[in-house]
Structure 1
Amino acid sequence: MSFNNDTIVALATASGAGAVAIIRLSGEEAITIANAHFKSVKNNKSLLKQKTHTIHLGHVVDGERVIDEVLVSIFKNPNSYTGENVVEISCHGSVYIQQEIIQLFLRNGCRMADAGEFTLRAFLNGKLDLSQAEAVADLIASDNEASHQIAMQQMRGGFSSEIAKLREELLNFASLLELELDFAEEDVEFADRTQFKELINRITFVLKRLIDSFAVGNVIKNGIPVAIVGEPNVGKSTLLNALLNEERAIVSDIAGTTRDTIEDELVIDGIGFRFIDTAGIRETKDVVESIGIKKTFEKMEQAQVVILLFSAGEFQTESQRLIVEIEKIKNRFPLKPLIIIANKIDILNTSEIESLKSKIDNIHLLSAKSGIGVEELKQKLISFVNTGALRNNETIITNTRHYDSLLKAFEEINKVKEGLEFGLSGDLMAIDVRQALYHFGEITGAITNDDLLGNIFANFCIGK
């Protein structure tokens, strides 16, 4: 990705009509270009003479033609998001007005911004490091409290500062190891091996904690897929509707009504759960329904949690067959959390409920139709997520690129640790230390290349 020091323009708000839209310019000539097409309501003020972080009422004009009445915000370098001169124009949200203003600036010295180019410039100008820049995209994409909290922490530099501190300490020891190479004939050690070992142990501990946090971070960022499975007409769609508190799935007394998978998301205590209501599992000659049943097993394979639903009444007459079905699911997916639910318990009396509990261990009793047991099920689902790190405001990794670099750094640090234990010479350990430093630098952007930046910022929206 090449970087041009020209002035860029883009719509910073969502595309389409709205009450207000914001058009952003960034670059050395941003204020000059905006000023040439701005006419203040009073005093004929020049934007060039105004202080940074000020807002001005006026009109965007194309010669004598008034395009719109606007508010213009000025941010002068280096005190702006990108570190350059930035102008933000708040105009009315008509798509026509948006395009007229953007086209005006494109004809008069601006270039259309590439995806993520404003944030790229912020990174290149030292306003953000690379992990903070990536957190901007995560913040925009956050759709629940937990993912928002993690993105905010990363954007404020929590993760970056932790990595930067470790890298700085390791770099100091690396310098001492390199210095030893210059005095190899004297056989001296400038890097205290005891202190070095303590540092390596501390880095190992931090890296392991960060790597382990990715399991939770990935869940928080992408949500937990939960497959709701069972035989036809046991209330899978009714349960989905009860969880979502809306009529999302078609419900009828006809077995096989759900012939495809239905997905929707619910946020429980800040964690997103993607519920999948699947076709009922049974022997069938219906071609369409059989395709749905095949998809059910595919969705169970993809899900992290499986809810196996039975009708409570069936346990009265077919308990042995149902127990066999439960064991089949457990054997097919031995590592997946399985919640076994007896639905429609409102039709049972107290003794029948007790009999049901005695036949199946840890069975969850529920009536999707009346709502009995639905809240308890939600709490059961949240128990599968380790939210302790989130509550304690610990650093949590959600980015696959960071995870990959941490794994590589961890591997190199382990080599250094082994080298210390076996008394390897400083020149050999220095090679592994350099590699670890390289992978640390990849995370924060201390080490980058055009391909890496291109891949990261291409996923941003235009205007950010």
Structure 2
Amino acid sequence: MGNTTYLHSTDTIVALATAAGKGAISVIRLSGPQAISICNAIFSGKNLLEQPSHTIHFGTIRDGARVVDEVLVSLFVAPHSYTTENVVEISCHGSDYIVQEIIKLILQKGARLAQAGEFTKRAFLNGKFDLTQAEAVADLIAADSSKAHEVAIKQMRGGFSVEIKALRAQLIHFASLIELELDFGEEDVEFADRAALENLVHHLQNLIRNLLQSFTLGNVLKNGVATVIVGKPNAGKSTLLNVLLNEEKAIVSDTPGTTRDFIEDEISIEGILFRFIDTAGLRETQDKVEAMGVERSRQKIEEAALVIYLFDVNELTPADLATELAALNVPDKPLLAVANKVDLAADLEVAAYQAIAPVLFIAAADKIGITELKQHLLRAVNQGDLTTGANTIVTNLRHYASLEQTYQALDAVLQGLANGTTGDFLASDIRRALYALGEITGDITTDDLLENIFSKFCIGK
């Protein structure tokens, strides 16, 4: 079912649009054909049915003669609203009791509770925006850093959609020509230039390949960089974590084995979210609790996107460093070797350490080298061209999977062209590619797909 065939819902939905719990104000949202009339039935003030769209009105919500609250009511008359339906937003005082009383009155007047993401789902189904833009709404709400916000805003405003729809439009042209050939099958005619089709497929695959490659960065921007700090006991891991977070998050002690489990927190470095994990020191130990912490440290190394190996430069020789890094064995992810406590080193053999691996020298306790460390972390995750704002970044695993399916279908088209495959098989492979691209934007949808996407939204969105 595509979003152009949807008929407006006959029911009116209601939900709390702001976070649950006490606050200065809460916003209750209604959407549907009866949204304004239902609100008008419990509102004492102006007649809301006679007011223009995009206006705000002061009054009271009443249960009969009883005043529940003084409120502001915002009106958005169809089709000029988020969902394209009549929408009302009631701003009331942020008491759980008041919110529940108002929603109860609204339900009594004929509305029903909204499902998760139903407001945005209605906006999509009513043609307000496509599926990638709808998903970007959830990403925008969840954005914890400036770069995640930047990507979500671009996608919500249709940046990614434009690129996907352009790819699909180019392919539809050739698909229609090949389908036309099938109508004249007995006459052995070719309307679609095979050489031009091959060039187009190569061009599309190149664009899709770039989008697929951007997913690594996109995933980082959306979910943050899981960065684990590992090393021997007393290397200064907890001190480094505290300095990076600018707070006393981890216990600092001269006693080896103080950190028995991992400690996790996050900060934004130039718009990129890093989730730092301070782990138990890596060493052989007879202490069962500490041993469990060491084992968890190794698990966190496996799960991390980036590893900082911190060592005390006064305790570890260059030869020891080579042994430690080899034992760490993380060839599939960025590893940053950091030498700590350089302020206490009498004769620092910088060249000898650098001969083993690129090493950054810091003194965490005195905050020496921390700025340089942050810059190294940014380079390690490879921001690419994101800062220019010029490239489309794929951040959604569903989009990535559909792009991969598109790429594979286009591969089948190329193989068919090389083998002189008949038009019906070419048409089938092109349709597969078009279907996969259509699933991204919502030109092709199923109920299960929509349920899976919108069930992850918050109720009031």
| TM-score after normalising by structure 1 | 0.95
User: What is the total number of aligned residue pairs between the two structures?
Assistant: 455
C-alpha deviations, 1:367-415, integer Å up to 9, x for none? 0100001111110010012323312321111111111111001100111
Corresponding residue for 1:325? Answer: 324
Displacement of 1:20 in angstroms is: 1.0
The amino acid of 2:432's aligned partner reads Q
SS of the counterpart of 2:336? strand
- The answer to whether residue 41 in structure 2 is matched with residue 36 in structure 1 is yes
- The answer to whether residue 26 in structure 2 is matched with residue 21 in structure 1 is yes
Displacement of 1:420 in angstroms is: 2.3
Displacement of 1:358 in angstroms is: 5.9
Corresponding residue for 2:342? Answer: 345
Corresponding residue for 1:77? Answer: 78
C-alpha deviations, 1:96-139, integer Å up to 9, x for none? 11111111101111100010000011011011211111111111
The amino acid of 1:47's aligned partner reads L
Distance in 2 of aligned mates of 1:187 and 1:75: 58
C-alpha deviations, 1:239-277, integer Å up to 9, x for none? 111111111100011111000011111111111111111
* 2:375 pairs with one of 373, 379, 382: 379
* Structure 1 residues 231 and 418, CA gap change in structure 2 (3 angstroms): same
Distance in 1 of aligned mates of 2:164 and 2:314: 57
* Structure 1 residues 68 and 114, CA gap change in structure 2 (3 angstroms): same
* 2:399 pairs with one of 402, 412, 433: 402
- The answer to whether residue 421 in structure 2 is matched with residue 420 in structure 1 is no
Q: CA RMSD in A?
A: 1.7
Distance in 1 of aligned mates of 2:374 and 2:412: 45
Task: Describe how 1:16-165 pairs up with structure 2 within 5 A.
Answer: 16-40=21-45, 45-165=46-166
Corresponding residue for 1:435? Answer: 432
SS of the counterpart of 2:214? helix
Q: Can you give the 5+ residue segments of structure 1 that lack an aligned partner in the other structure?
A: none
Distance in 2 of aligned mates of 1:326 and 1:174: 54
Distance in 1 of aligned mates of 2:424 and 2:322: 64
SS of the counterpart of 1:314? coil
Distance in 1 of aligned mates of 2:11 and 2:164: 33
| TM-score after normalising by structure 2 | 0.95
* Structure 1 residues 313 and 71, CA gap change in structure 2 (3 angstroms): same
Question: Does the 8 Å CA contact 2:54/2:77 hold for their aligned counterparts?
Answer: yes
Seq. identity, %: 57
Question: Does the 8 Å CA contact 2:72/2:91 hold for their aligned counterparts?
Answer: yes
Corresponding residue for 2:358? Answer: 362
Distance in 1 of aligned mates of 2:333 and 2:162: 36
SS of the counterpart of 2:85? coil
The amino acid of 2:376's aligned partner reads K
The amino acid of 1:197's aligned partner reads E
SS of the counterpart of 2:89? strand
Question: Does the 8 Å CA contact 1:136/1:151 hold for their aligned counterparts?
Answer: yes
Question: Does the 8 Å CA contact 1:389/1:396 hold for their aligned counterparts?
Answer: no
SS of the counterpart of 2:207? helix
Distance in 2 of aligned mates of 1:212 and 1:410: 13
Corresponding residue for 1:8? Answer: 13
SS of the counterpart of 1:448? coil
Corresponding residue for 1:238? Answer: 239
Displacement of 1:217 in angstroms is: 0.6
* Structure 1 residues 128 and 345, CA gap change in structure 2 (3 angstroms): same
Distance in 2 of aligned mates of 1:425 and 1:386: 44
SS of the counterpart of 1:274? strand
Corresponding residue for 1:225? Answer: 226
Distance in 2 of aligned mates of 1:305 and 1:38: 56
* Structure 1 residues 189 and 86, CA gap change in structure 2 (3 angstroms): same
Displacement of 1:165 in angstroms is: 1.8
Q: Can you give the 5+ residue segments of structure 2 that lack an aligned partner in the other structure?
A: none
SS of the counterpart of 2:100? helix
